[in-house]
A = this chain, B = another copy of it.
């Protein structure tokens, strides 16, 4: 078995994990750096930040333990790059989804963003798990950078809800609370997918988006 296809990496490729970490040509650096990123995502997702050793990661990437430090300053640096890139792409996914429906009104926008984010979490559940659940392992400065992106995602959803309430097409007593609930629903997909049920990412996206609309819609039991 050649180095480039060392233990675990084939699996990662079958996963669609590798393609998530491909890049225009190589802003991510040489091939080994990209292999390390993919290997690290896989390992972190399986055993968590503290449960993963740098030797684990190096092995999966087909490098010696010291090989990691040719491309990354530290284990935390490697983790940070994954987390930051993952968040940037998640935000981009959300923004793109909202833009793609144009000025179609709050309901369509809400549906689009929830669908896109849910599908994303399911399709990239390995990456999403790393990105969502080990944030406290980041240094305070790095954490803050990532938190800023998270706030943008939250603001995007909250903005759509507020817009809908203002336009009278949503009935949402507690916009902040519902924003939290929606993001929880979506985020949590990364924790369990694909173990419960056999839905495709797209089916799940549609389902959750429909549920979001039900939560926001004016309902008959208004009194």
Which B residues touch A214, using CB under 8 A? Answer: 214-215, 217, 219
Query: How many residues of A are in contact with the other chain, CB < 8 A?
Result: 39
Chain B residues with Cβ below 8 Å from A143 are none
Chain B residues within 8 Å of A218, by CB: 220
Which residues of chain B are near A208, meaning CB under 8 Å? 177, 181
**Assembly CA distance A185 to B134 (angstroms):** 19
CA distance A197 to B180 in the complex (A): 9
Please determine whether A211 and B207 come into contact, CB atoms closer than 8 angstroms.
no
Complex Cα spacing A184 to B187, Å: 8
| Residues of A participating in the B interface, judged by any CB pair closer than 8 Å | 46-51, 133-134, 136-137, 173-174, 176-178, 180-181, 184-185, 187-189, 191-192, 196-197, 199, 204, 207-208, 210-211, 214-215, 217-221
What would be 22 A-B contacts, judged by CB atoms less than 8 Å apart? A47-B50, A48-B48, A48-B49, A48-B50, A50-B51, A177-B199, A177-B204, A177-B208, A180-B192, A180-B196, A180-B197, A181-B185, A184-B185, A184-B187, A184-B189, A184-B191, A184-B192, A185-B185, A185-B188, A187-B191, A214-B217, A219-B220
